[in-house]
Amino acid sequence: MTSRTDEALGYEQARDELIEVVRRLEAGGTTLEESLALWERGEELAKVCRRWLDGARARLDAALAGAEAGEEAEESGNGSNTE
C-alpha cells in the first residue's frame, strides 16, 4: 500500500531512495526482517516511479498526437491556398 508521503514524492526523489534501498540490499549484512522491510519499501518506490513514468509517457504521447494533428491541419490548409 502506498502512503500519502509516497504520493508526494517526485520521480527523482523516489528513484534516489530506490537506488539506496537496492544498494543496501546488495551490500547484505541486514537481518531477514530488515531485508524484507527494504524489499517492501523498494516495491513501493518502484510503483511511485512507474506512475511518474506512465504519466510522462501519456503527456509525451498527447503532445506528439497534437503536433501531428497540427501538421496535418497545416498541410491541408496549405493545399487549399496553392490554387
Residue boundaries of the structural domains of the chain: 4-77
CATH hierarchy code of domain 4-77: 1.10.287
- Please give the C-alpha separations between residue 31 and each of 9, 35, 79, in angstroms, as whole numbers: 27, 6, 71
3-state secondary structure of 8: helix
User: How confident is the model at residue 6, as a pLDDT?
Assistant: 72
User: How confident is the model at residue 76, as a pLDDT?
Assistant: 82
User: How confident is the model at residue 80, as a pLDDT?
Assistant: 52
User: How confident is the model at residue 4, as a pLDDT?
Assistant: 57
User: How confident is the model at residue 24, as a pLDDT?
Assistant: 97
Cell 497534437 locates to 66
What gap in Å lies between CA 83 and CA 75, rounded to an integer?
14
How many other C-beta atoms lie within 10 A of the C-beta of residue 45?
23
User: How confident is the model at residue 83, as a pLDDT?
Assistant: 47
The residue ranges of the chain whose pLDDT is under 50 are 83
Q: Grid coordinates representing 56?
A: 510522462
